[in-house]
A and B are shown apart, each in its own frame.
Chain A
Amino acid sequence: MLEELSFIVALIMEGASIGLMYSLIALGFVLIYKATDAINFAQGEFVMLAAYGGAVTLAGSLAGTSYGFILAFLAALVLMIGFSFALERTVLRPLLGRPVIAVIMATIGLAAIFRGLPPITVGASTKTVPLPIPDTPIDLWIHRIPAIDLLGVVVTLLSVAVLTWFFRKSRMGVAMRAVADNQQVAMAMGINVERYFAIAWAMAGIIAALGGIIWGSKLGVDTQLALVGLKVFPVVILGGLDSIAGAVVGGLIVGICESLAAGYLDPYVGGGTKDFAPYVIMIIMLMFKPYGLFGKRKIERI
């Protein structure tokens, strides 16, 4: 009985930590949707690109030193902010006011470009992002969790705290909420809408850089890393596309479901339920509560 209980608790802890790491990626997605109403299907590729930025910098002569890591993080940060700015300007701004399909397809096109770039520029081999943290799992009461997962959880929670503060309290965040709510009224109130779009993309770039460093160091950096982005969709659908709290709750639900499915169903179906369970939950959610747990319902007018 006790063994059974500790098995469940272990699964839940594992799932929760992975889930919160999913949330970190989902945050970037939510941020862009919240501020600009655009859907970013290339979120996974953003994360991959940031991870490449970090890995390539770290692979230089600075490997192993602590400021090497800081430099790698800064490189990823600068790369992603620059990239996001450029994208917003060249791709997404011309698509303003076009049907949602156009924006979705444009980001899918971006995803294709991003997946094609690394093998040509830095080679197809898997790279590592060695972080200055212990390799051994850290003992947490009844279950041991890899240090990198724990770091991911901490970073996610910090990001959520900062973003929540940003949207609630800061002048910029309030302006961004105004832009998201109604672009025309925001413009009439003297808010520079285009500038806030750029800021939102840059912030998403920062989140992607954090996610890239952490996921890259967990899984290794190659183009397969972008597949993590597919897990973002169940997370944001569960939580609601425009809710930061939703991204956290959705991440927890997806992570825990995944982990429980892997623990209890895998022995019966021969593995792989991990990649399956989140999407089933998502479809059920879409059928019954399409706007998610915390999402804002949109009212359509003709």
Chain B
Amino acid sequence: MFHREAGTFKTSYAKDMALFPLPIAKGAAAFFLATVAVAIPAAVLTGLMHEYYLTIFTQIFIAIVGALGLNILVGWTGQISIGHAAFMSVGAYTVGNLVTKVPHEIFGGPMPFWLTIPAGGLMAALIGTVVGIPSLRIKGTYLAIATLASQLIIEWIINHTPAISGGAGASIQVPRPTLFGNELKTPMEIYYFTLFFAVVAIVATMNLVRSRIGRAFVAIRDQDIAAEIIGINIFRYKLLSFAISSFYAGVCGVLFAYYSSIANYEAFQINISIDYLAMIIIGGLGSVLGTILGVIFVQLLPVAIREVVTAYGGYVIANPEQMQLDSLLRTLMIWGIPLLVLLAVRRFVSLGFWTRLIVTLLAIVPAAMTALGVLTYLFGSQFANTSALSAMAASLKLIIFGMLIIFFLVVEPEGLARLWRNVRNYFRVWPFSY
């Protein structure tokens, strides 16, 4: 039954804090769960979707666990951390050591995942708590620098201790997890494996932040001295936040090690910490939905950039004459002049809504062609080299990431979650304006 609520009719705190505040939210959650659990695998099985996309979704699920952990710390508790990836590496190396060093006779094989995942999480939580201790005396800038240092220190220790890193190359092979004696090795099995933990992490976070602990976190974020005055034990809750956050990170690291079959510190360097910060800032600090949106966005962006750069590189290689000046001039004549005319019409002639829309849509093609021509003339030679394309994609990814972080910080500090809420609130009362 489709219906919209016509106002706020909550009469108890329990209702206000309910997991699904609106009836439609339950439906939406069920819909998304059905999409990821049934529709996507079905699309892959029937051949509508390439199996490659399953690994992208798997990476998204793994990153959701880690990003939720970071958001608990940064978004809900207000303690910044630039060392999140280091805690993931702690989880990854814990599972690496457990599956290789615990005698296989005990479990009839490598240690099972239902033990290694909590173990990796707890180990990371322990280290995270130690790293969190300075947060009692310092905050803001100083804490950011301290967590940055702990990232570098943890990385260094792992890298220089053969007992942890497994010696040469600092990487440990991790066998696939087994469930009821079956080795989970196809992309589909790993997909469901990580999906399960992503869902657990999402539900756990939603419940955590509406509990007493979550409210204490928010109080500390908003004003920690005031929180202390109203009786919140800051010492306990800050460390708890670091511990929970690192636990998530540890689990994320274990999942990543299972997914990639290897525990290697190079997958958890400082740029990964910054990627995770980008996820929660773009998605929305202090929002579960925002975290998920941010993770999807940040994980898909490099894929999209790589596709575009490869396609563009192919275009440049196929049309080398596009890099000449006369080709640029021709482009400007063929596409630039119509573009200017359309823009002038749009600007100076008074048009009705639909005519204006049509003119705007008409301008898209010449605008794209002009931009393409100019870009090819300026930078085309950089893309004409197939081997340099992946490096190019990496650089572009960095630039676009940085711009997005700054854009969201300056323009929409609450991120994608806020944009989504704006859209939702608009349609909630649609077609009436209020």
Determine if chain A interacts with chain B. yes
Q: Which of B78, B137, B226 sits near A287, CB closer than 8 Å?
A: B137
Cβ-defined contact, B144 with A290, below 8 A: no
Per-residue 0/1 for B366-406: is the Cβ within 8 Å of any A Cβ (1 yes, 0 no)? 00000000000001001000001001101111110111111
Q: Which of A99, A124, A234 sits near B391, CB closer than 8 Å?
A: A124
Which of B223, B392, B403, B410 neighbours the largest number of chain A CB atoms within 10 Å of its CB? B410
Q: Which of A105, A115, A241, A283 sits near B405, CB closer than 8 Å?
A: A105
A300 within 8 A of B: yes
In the bound complex, how far is the Cα of B133 from the Cα of A117, in angstroms? 37
Cβ-defined contact, A116 with B395, below 8 A: yes
Residues of A within 8 A of B379 (CB): 120-121
Select the stretch in B39-47, B149-157, B196-204 that faces chain A: B149-157
Count of B interface residues, CB-CB < 8 Å: 50
In the bound complex, how far is the Cα of B152 from the Cα of A118, in angstroms? 25
Q: A241-B141, A272-B156 are in contact. Are A101 and B74 (CB under 8 A)?
A: yes
B239 within 8 A of A: no
- Which B residue sits closest to A237, measured CB to CB? B145
Residues of A within 8 A of B382 (CB): 120, 123
Q: A102-B413, A120-B395 are in contact. Are A112 and B141 (CB under 8 A)?
A: no
- Which A residue sits closest to B275, measured CB to CB? A112
Cβ-defined contact, A110 with B144, below 8 A: no
Interface residues on A, range: 35 or more
- Which A residue sits closest to B407, measured CB to CB? A109
Residues of A within 8 A of B229 (CB): 302
In the bound complex, how far is the Cα of B133 from the Cα of A270, in angstroms? 30
Residues of A within 8 A of B403 (CB): 109, 113
Select the stretch in A75-83, A177-185, A198-206, A273-281 that faces chain B: A273-281
Q: A105-B409, A108-B277 are in contact. Are A117 and B399 (CB under 8 A)?
A: yes
In the bound complex, how far is the Cα of B160 from the Cα of A230, in angstroms? 20
- Give the Cβ gap from B160 to chain A, nearest Cβ, in Å: 6
Q: Which of B144, B152, B397 sits near A39, CB closer than 8 Å?
A: B144
In the bound complex, how far is the Cα of B82 from the Cα of A39, in angstroms? 14
Q: Which of A99, A108, A290 sits near B142, CB closer than 8 Å?
A: A290
Per-residue 0/1 for A25-42: is the Cβ within 8 Å of any B Cβ (1 yes, 0 no)? 000000000000001010
- Give the Cβ gap from B68 to chain A, nearest Cβ, in Å: 18
Cβ-defined contact, B225 with A300, below 8 A: yes
Cβ-defined contact, A111 with B402, below 8 A: yes
Cβ-defined contact, B160 with A91, below 8 A: no
A2 within 8 A of B: no
Cβ-defined contact, A119 with B392, below 8 A: yes
Cβ-defined contact, B397 with A116, below 8 A: yes
A98 within 8 A of B: yes
B146 within 8 A of A: yes
Cβ-defined contact, B153 with A110, below 8 A: no
- Give the Cβ gap from B166 to chain A, nearest Cβ, in Å: 15
Cβ-defined contact, A91 with B406, below 8 A: yes
Residues of A within 8 A of B82 (CB): 108
Which of B80, B144, B152, B409 neighbours the largest number of chain A CB atoms within 10 Å of its CB? B409
Per-residue 0/1 for A272-301: is the Cβ within 8 Å of any B Cβ (1 yes, 0 no)? 100110011011001100100000000010
A150 within 8 A of B: no
- Which A residue sits closest to B140, measured CB to CB? A100
Cβ-defined contact, A104 with B80, below 8 A: yes
Given A91-B410, A286-B142, 19 extra CB contacts under 8 A: A94-B410, A99-B78, A99-B140, A101-B74, A108-B277, A109-B401, A109-B403, A109-B405, A113-B399, A116-B399, A119-B395, A120-B382, A121-B379, A230-B148, A276-B153, A276-B156, A279-B152, A283-B150, A287-B137
- Residues on B lying within 8 angstroms of A by beta carbon are 74, 78, 80, 82, 133-134, 137-138, 140-142, 144-146, 148-150, 152-153, 156, 159-160, 223, 225-226, 229, 274, 277-278, 281, 379, 382, 388, 391-392, 394-399, 401-406, 409-410, 413
Subset of 5 A-B contacts with CB under 8 Å: A102-B413, A112-B405, A269-B160, A279-B153, A286-B146
* 5 closest cross-chain pairs (CB), A and B: A116-B398, A109-B405, A113-B402, A112-B402, A116-B399
- Residues on A lying within 8 angstroms of B by beta carbon are 39, 41, 91, 94-95, 98-102, 104-106, 108-117, 119-121, 123-124, 230, 233-234, 237, 241, 269-270, 272, 275-276, 279-280, 282-283, 286-287, 290, 300, 302
